[in-house]
A and B are shown apart, each in its own frame.
Chain A
């Protein structure tokens, strides 16, 4: 921890882990199919030797990838924190690489809530915050929290800085 920094405190919904789990399973199945098709094509049309080596390399990475997929959602959830104050939006995320972002409210240009099919199953929403520089997402918040957050940010972001 960066001890001297006042850290954001709010956590995501605990269901986020399940949602990410489902996503990981879907992604891995798709990746597996693609890899299998590539192996078949490589065998069928006898592609160049190095293609085979790259495929073997990818397959070798696939197994540790599976293990990572199984444990990552839990860690990711543990690492995620967010908070808003009148002046800043604070985000903290990352497992291997921990990242803390500080975004002034006056620089926020738009805020929206979104929901995909998996999130809908658990009644969760994603809050998307757009600034002049980038798009920040706070994934998987329960409906009332997400809507509350969206309205709060919209309220604070109304204030504009006098530009130079």
Chain B
């Protein structure tokens, strides 16, 4: 329980800094770029800007004084509003996952940010503390975690269980921590060394802006370089060394200090060397699991495992992919770990799954490709403007081959498995995705069949899961018997759910 109190004072500092940052360009324009201007419009704009800025500054300060938060036994209570007061109550039971992110700002001041994501739509979907002391965040997270599962149960029973949990604090088991070897492998798989090229280009662009580099001069200096074979070799070697170094550093910064652990109730993922982020989710709130493999990962036997949460990932930058277990897990270890962390998900490997029948390939090959038709139309129309002199039909043919190649690969990769408790779908042409979800987590199903599929005794199945945005997943052209079994399988869910 946390009594009503104001947010961390540094939050005010952060907001003021952000206000200044957001207005810097306008200020620069008005007071430096247009400093000498005597136009009445600029004069007016200057005063208006000063007025606006001062008022905003003042508002932020008052806002901080009016905002308070409180945690009672079951929910967050958030008080806010300068002119109209509002009070928001967010029950812990609605919290789907918790994100923690320590930005450079937070690091400097030894604070952190924490957000509790709920599954609801709109701005109020998360309860967010942008600046908060670390012990406070810690306390809040464990407090909410202990109560979020139990609030649905009767009050008395709940308190009893909480006491239990608090007495024997659950031990966290560490499941994965990348070794240096893993990180090296990851930096090559992610092709992160290629990132040096755009990086160099942007540097070149910047230099070009400052120093006027004439094309001829450049060509001259380049020709000197390229004249000597030794020089060229040295440059290429240097470039390779630098780019590998760059890629490895990048990967170490991003995926170094990665840790996946869990206790009886929750899963914890943390990562990042400079900017730290952490993600935690209650095991029962995992809506689905996804295992993806790019062609390169296929070759190296690596896989990426993702947990689907109804709360979405929230404030944290999407690039950080906090809900991902680890993008470069050895495949066998990935499967093992899923079973360790979520014993309910007895994920089976693709060898134990069923392939599509031959008729599916037939149906897929005869399905018209709209992409190809439109592309061919465009190629024909622009045939005289193509760089590659009027090779429009060759290009179109190549595209057709690629499209059919991907279709064939998709057919070969597609597998499914329907178990008593869960369903597994695997598909994808180049990038393969295995989707695993439990029957009780599926919120809707549909079976569709067009005339074409009907002739060949096929149908398509689809599941809908809670996620942000809602996740539709399915397999096309499965045998009709499987589709019927799937439909009846879902009907059987009433046996295993409990109602309030």
Task: Please name the residue on chain B nearest to A87 by beta carbon.
Answer: B494
Q: Is the CB of A102 within 8 A of B491?
A: yes
The reply to whether A104 and B493 contact each other, CB–CB distance below 8 Å, is yes
Q: Does B408 contact A (CB under 8 A)?
A: no
The reply to whether A102 and B470 contact each other, CB–CB distance below 8 Å, is: no
Is B367 an interface residue, CB under 8 A from the partner? no
Closest to A95 in B: B451
Tell me the residues in window 441-500 of chain B with beta carbons closer than 8 Å to chain A beta carbons: 443-451, 454, 459, 464, 466, 470, 480-481, 483-485, 487-488, 490-491, 493-494, 497-500
B149 at interface (Cβ–Cβ under 8 A)?
yes
Residues of B within 8 A of A104 (CB): 443-444, 493-494
Listed in ascending order, the chain B residues whose CB lies under 8 Å from chain A are 93, 119, 149, 152, 282, 284-285, 381, 443-451, 454, 459, 464, 466, 470, 480-481, 483-485, 487-488, 490-491, 493-494, 497-500
**Total contacts A-B at CB 8 Å:** 90
Question: Which of B93, B284, B445, B448 is the one whose CB lies under 8 Å from A102?
Answer: B445
A133 interface contact, C-beta 8 A: yes
A3 to B449, CA, bound (A): 13
Contact B285 A164 (CB under 8 A): yes
CA distance A103 to B443 in the complex (A): 7
CB of A121 within 8 Å of the partner chain: no
The reply to whether A102 and B485 contact each other, CB–CB distance below 8 Å, is no
Determine whether A144 belongs to the interface, using a CB cutoff of 8 Å to chain B.
no
16 contacts between A and B (CB under 8 A): A2-B480, A4-B485, A87-B494, A88-B491, A97-B450, A98-B454, A99-B449, A100-B448, A102-B444, A102-B445, A102-B487, A132-B443, A133-B444, A133-B466, A162-B152, A163-B152
How far is A102 from B464 in the complex, measured between Cα atoms in Å? Answer: 11
Q: Determine the distance from Cα of A133 to Cα of B468 in the docked complex, in whole angstroms.
A: 10
A163-B93 in contact (CB<8A): yes
A131 in contact with B443 given A97-B449, A162-B152, A163-B93 (CB within 8 Å): yes
Do A2 and B487 have beta carbons less than 8 Å apart? yes
Interface of B (DSSP majority class): mixed
Inter-chain CA distance A133–B464, complex, in Å, is: 7
On chain B, the residues within 8 Å of A97 by CB distance are 448-450
Q: Are A162 and B483 in contact (CB under 8 A)?
A: no
A43: CB under 8 A from chain B?
Answer: no
Residues of A close to B490: CB separation below 8 A: 102
- Min Cβ gap A94→B in Å is 7
Nearest A residue to B119, CB-CB: A132
Contact of A164 among B282, B446, B447, B500 (CB under 8 A): B282
Residues of A within 8 Å of B454, CB to CB, are 98
7 shortest interchain CB distances as A-B pairs: A164-B284, A4-B484, A97-B450, A101-B446, A99-B448, A133-B464, A133-B470
- Please tell me if A9 contacts chain B, counting CB pairs below 8 Å: no
* Chain B nearest Cβ from A159, distance in angstroms: 5
- When the two chains form their complex, are residues B448 and A134 in contact, meaning their CB atoms are under 8 A apart? no
In chain A, positions 66-104 with a C-beta closer than 8 Å to chain B are: 87-88, 94, 96-104
Q: Tell me, yes or no, whether A160 is within 8 Å of chain B by CB.
A: yes
B459 in complex: contacting residue of A2, A107, A133, A163, CB < 8 Å: A2
Could you tell me the distance between the alpha carbons of A159 and B454 in the complex, rounded to whole angstroms? 37
Q: How far is the CA of A50 from the CA of B380 in the complex (A)?
A: 11
Chain A window 1-18, contacts with chain B (Cβ cutoff 8 Å), 1 for yes, 0 for no: 011110000000000000
A164 CB contacts on chain B under 8 angstroms:
149, 282, 284-285
A134 touches B464 (CB 8 A): yes
**In the bound complex, how far is the Cα of B82 from the Cα of A119, in angstroms?**
48
* Residue A110, interface by CB 8 Å: no
Q: Report the Cα distance A98→B450, complex, angstroms.
A: 6
A106 touching B497 by the CB < 8 A rule?
yes
- The reply to whether B488 and A4 form a contact with Cβ atoms under 8 Å apart is yes
* Cβ B500 vs Cβ A162 within 8 A: yes
A2 to B386, CA, bound (A): 50
Closest-CB distance, A31 to chain B (whole angstroms): 21
Residues of B within 8 A of A2 (CB): 447, 449, 459, 480, 483-484, 487
What's the nearest-Cβ distance from chain A to residue B314, in Å?
18
How far is the CB of B37 from the nearest CB of chain A, in Å?
Answer: 42
Complex CA–CA separation, A134 to B284 (angstroms): 23
Question: What residues of B have a CB within 8 angstroms of the CB of A102 in the complex?
Answer: 444-446, 487, 490-491
User: A98 touching B449 by the CB < 8 A rule?
Assistant: yes
Instruction: Select one of B444, B466, B499 contacting A103, CB under 8 A.
Output: B444
Please indicate the chain A residues that have their CB under 8 angstroms from the CB of B499 in the complex. Answer: 106, 159-162
